[in-house]
Amino acid sequence: MTIPTVPTPATLDAFWMPFTANRRFKAHPRLLARAQGMHYWTDDGRQILDGIAGLWCVNAGHARPEITEAVSRQLATLDYAPTFQMGHPQAFELANRLVELVPGDLDHVFFTNSGSESVDTALKIAIAYHRSRGEAARTRLIGREKGYHGVGFGGISVGGIVNNRKFFGSLLPGVDHLSHTLDIEHNAYSRGQPEWGVHLADELERLVALHDASTIAAVIVEPIAGSAGVILPPKGYLQRLRSICDRHGILLIFDEVITGFGRLGTPFGAHYFDVVPDMITSAKGLTNGAVPMGAVFVRKSIYDAFMHAPEDAIELFHGYTYSAHPAACAAALATLEIYRREGLLTRAADLSRIWEDAVHSLRGLPHVIDVRNLGLVAGIELQPRSSAPGTRAYDVFVAAFEKGVLIRTTGDIIALSPPLIIEPVQIDQLVTTLADILRATP
């Protein structure tokens, strides 16, 4: 059935939308009809500046013809190929290209279809790795409060966002959480990484003492917690986590679904923070959002630990029908070439000072209680309305859309993460529009 140009409640009803107030949206829909470069266009023809790279994923801008053509050629040549006991050349080519982008000896890639699948894959690999080494008691997983690791049962178990957890029962057993690193009292309006809070990493030592290291498989953290509202690691925090994990034989997993592929001005957050984790989860920017795909980067020592069974034995009983889908591989290879040719994996470093000054110009405006930034990402926290938390930022989101700018909100925090092709004049448009709306918002 073709949806009419003017949507009606009946034509919108069948789609149960994710992370959406469905009844409110369907009463007042916001429909995006096409996109190009830095912009969307609505179904009624209005231009919308994309301030969030789609959903943290369209790093090279929208509708890149190179990606479209690569996917089209691939579908006409090989539309699907299984990767269980089979393979196709693009999967191996992509894996080889990707391992050149990550630090240290993260030299193996397991392909998934999303960030959620990447996280659950990494958690399973961590537990199976310890078992393969004769430490089967290491099954406990450590996440972090306010962390977001997708929507699989593994991801929401190690995640720390209350509403993502409370509706779904007891989740995985044997999971604990570190404290989050957001502290406005000490770190409000920090430019870049906060100075205060490195000691929060020592919470891991308390959990080791509580559970014993012999039971802990892995710690998973986002270098920057995005979905909780752009929460930055204090200086030295990630380095200290690495040191504690090393001391106790615990794997450290960086969830880089957001920080991967240039968001901080380096290929991955691991480069920016100069910390080599044992695994990196990724998705989003891997294909510029054009085709769903994710990947888990694994250190050589972890991969090698599985390779001691007989040669004809399956080493890891895990995978997905669409792992390394040919069309996704084509999209990813074309995306990586755009990143290389246009220098997009480091462009955020060139824009970061302009971006920082722009977003911090919002300080002092009505309701703004904090501004946080790093690379090409920012969080603007608003004072909640006492009777209705979350509604003030939502009103700003709606007003911004009406004025031609797309932002993202979580609670009363505005999150910004534009495509890496953004120009200074567009940064100014984004922030000036937000400033005007904040001045007018009760």
Answer yes or no: is pLDDT of 208 > 70.
yes
If one counts every other C-beta atom within 10 angstroms of the C-beta of residue 180, the result is 17
Q: How far is CA 264 from CA 106, 201, 349, in A?
A: 20, 22, 7
pLDDT for res 309: 82
Give pLDDT tens digits for 119-142.
999 999 999 999 999 999 999 999
We find that the CATH architecture of domain 68-342 is: 3-Layer(aba) Sandwich (3.40)
pLDDT for res 8: 75
Beta carbons of 373 and 355 less than 8 angstroms apart: yes
Instruction: Go through the chain and tell me how many residues it has.
Output: 442
Answer yes or no: is pLDDT of 5 > 80.
no
pLDDT for res 103: 97
Spans of all domains in the chain:
31-51+343-440, 68-342
Beta carbons of 32 and 48 less than 8 angstroms apart: yes
Cα within 13 Å of Cα(18), Cβ side: 4
| pLDDT > 90 fraction of the chain, expressed in percent and rounded | 97
Average pLDDT over the chain reads 96
Most distant CA pair in the chain, distance? 68
Assess whether the region 31-51+343-440 and the region 68-342 belong to the same CATH fold. Answer: no
Cβ neighbours of residue 254 closer than 8 Å, sequence gap 6 or more: 220, 221, 222, 223, 268, 269, 270, 275, 277, 279, 280, 281
Q: Would you identify the CATH topology of the domain 31-51+343-440?
A: Aspartate Aminotransferase, domain 1 (3.90.1150)
- Rounded Cα distance, 286 and 233, in Å: 24
Kindly provide the b/e burial profile for residues 132-150, where b requires at least 16 CB atoms within 10 angstroms of the residue's own CB.
beeeeebbbbbbbbbbbbb
pLDDT for res 242: 98
Cα within 13 Å of Cα(101), Cβ side: 28
Confidence grade of residue 60 (pLDDT, cut at 50, 70, 90): very high
Q: Give phi and psi for 119, each to the nearest 5.
A: -65, -50
Answer yes or no: is pLDDT of 95 > 60.
yes
Beta carbons of 291 and 71 less than 8 angstroms apart: yes
pLDDT for res 304: 97
Beta carbons of 239 and 251 less than 8 angstroms apart: no
